[in-house]
Amino acid sequence: MATAALETTDTRTRLIEAAVDLFTRHSFAGTSLQMIADELGFTKAAIYHHFRTREQLLAAVLEPILDELRTIVDSAETRRTAHSRAEHMLSGYAALTVRNRGLVAVLAADPSVAAVLIERAEWGDLIKRQLALLADVDPGPAGEVKAAMVFAGMAGAAGPTWGTFDDAALQEHLVDAGRRTLGLRAPRRS
Amino acid sequence: MATAALETTDTRTRLIEAAVDLFTRHSFAGTSLQMIADELGFTKAAIYHHFRTREQLLAAVLEPILDELRTIVDSAETRRTAHSRAEHMLSGYAALTVRNRGLVAVLAADPSVAAVLIERAEWGDLIKRQLALLADVDPGPAGEVKAAMVFAGMAGAAGPTWGTFDDAALQEHLVDAGRRTLGLRAPRRS
């Protein structure tokens, strides 16, 4: 029994890892359960045991990221000023993006995922709260455009496509670029 | 003959329009020729008459955009200073993005398209020249990260997902946000 449980956990983890890799390369809509089965040498039946639909697999892939994002958003919203809320959101999102290269691009820039995010109210609401935290430094359309640029731009810059940066440098540069975009000053060191 | 030629042109145009719409919503990899056929009430044979593969259809969709981008890149590269080259690239890309909402996101942020762009040397090279023009204001990794943020961020902000802005306002805000990100001053009016 213990061995079977362990195998089940292991299979689930391998399925999620293969899904992340394929979603990142082929987009969510371009990845079928069959492709994931082929990648791992599994039967489709083995996958169905864990995930009935591709949307369930997407949820399993994104939920850890969205949980982290929720923690950052919740914490940012408690800050006193619009600037400190944006600063907290920005640095948290940069760290999340660097820890989950490529996968955050699936969340923020894959058009086939955007459709799913909007449909799932709790996901769409979370992204809207994130965008509001970034936009409220400069309320109105200018601030909204800057927030959208930071949201999609950081994800794209951390993606694997056009360059490779080491994690620490990438995170520092992302925060710096995001601050410039939003018009935030670097916080004073205490 | 004239009528047949006209119908052929019209069918090709309708195929491309349907492809743009579906690529924008479902990603390139998530759109099959069958889906495009269904959308238009065509048979797959009718599509094969115009496009043998999905990659040929992607090329037909992206080529007008890439031609415009090439004109902007060529022109920007003739400018004298890194700042004026970046300024020209930035404002040209913002205008291109606004004129082709959603579709530039397919170009800049769809992971399944990135793979095709990299494989087609003349496309990949063009994007690299664009990124270099944006990055050279601040040579090194910091500039590369900012360039990647502008490239993916502008495309994402102009996409249909998270907000709707009128064209003129969007273009102005994109240029302003891009200048902030790259550290460019607004050019003096002459």
Categorize the per-residue pLDDT at A185 as very low, low, confident or very high, splitting at 50, 70 and 90: confident
**Which is higher by pLDDT, A181 or A119?**
A181
Q: B46 by DSSP, 3-state: which?
A: helix
pLDDT digits (tens, 9 = 90+) for A37-92: 999 999 988 888 899 888 889 999 999 999 999 999 999 999 999 999 999 999 99
The DSSP code sequence of A32-91 is: -HHHHHHHHT--HHHHHTT-SSHHHHHHHHHHHHHHHHHHHHHHHHTSSSHHHHHHHHHH
Collect the ranges in chain B with pLDDT lower than 70. Answer: 1-7, 160-163, 189-190
Longest dimension (CA), chain A: 58
User: What is the DSSP code string of B48-83?
Assistant: HHH-SSHHHHHHHHHHHHHHHHHHHHHHHHTSSSHH
Q: Which ipTM value was assigned to this complex?
A: 0.88
Instruction: Flag whether pLDDT at A15 surpasses 60.
Output: yes
pLDDT (tens digit, 9 = 90+) per residue, A105-156?
A: 888 877 778 778 878 888 889 999 999 999 999 999 999 999 999 999 999 8
Q: Which of B141, B170, B142, B143 shows the shortest CA–CA distance to B154?
A: B170
**Given this model, what pLDDT does residue A5 score?**
63
- Picking from B142, B151, B169, the nearest residue to A176 by CB comes out as B142
Interface test with A, best of B28, B113, B145 (most A CBs within 10 A): B145
Give the per-residue pLDDT at B81: 96
**Which residue is closest to B174 within chain A, CA to CA?**
A145
Residue A3 Cα, gap to closest chain B Cα (Å): 38
- Using CB atoms, which residue from B27, B150, B157 is nearest to A148? B157
Angle among Cα A154, A156, A158 to the nearest 5 degrees reads 70
Contact B27 A25 (CB under 8 A): no
Shortest CA gap A174–chain B (Å):
7
Q: Which two tokens stand for residue A61?
A: 């892939």
Question: Confidence band (pLDDT; 50, 70, 90) for A1?
Answer: very low
pLDDT of residue A27: 83
Each residue's pLDDT tens digit, A96-107: 999 988 788 888
The pLDDT value recorded for residue B1 is 46
Residue A190 has pLDDT above 60, yes or no: no
CA distance A130 to A114: 15
* pLDDT score recorded for residue A11: 86
CB-CB under 8 Å, B106 with A110? no
What local confidence, expressed as pLDDT, does residue A160 receive? 64
Inter-chain Cβ pairs, chain A and chain B, closer than 8 A: 187
Is residue B22 within 8 A of residue B35, CB to CB? The reply is: yes
- Position B163 scores a pLDDT of 60
pLDDT number for residue A165: 78
- pTM: predicted TM-score of the whole model, two decimal places: 0.89
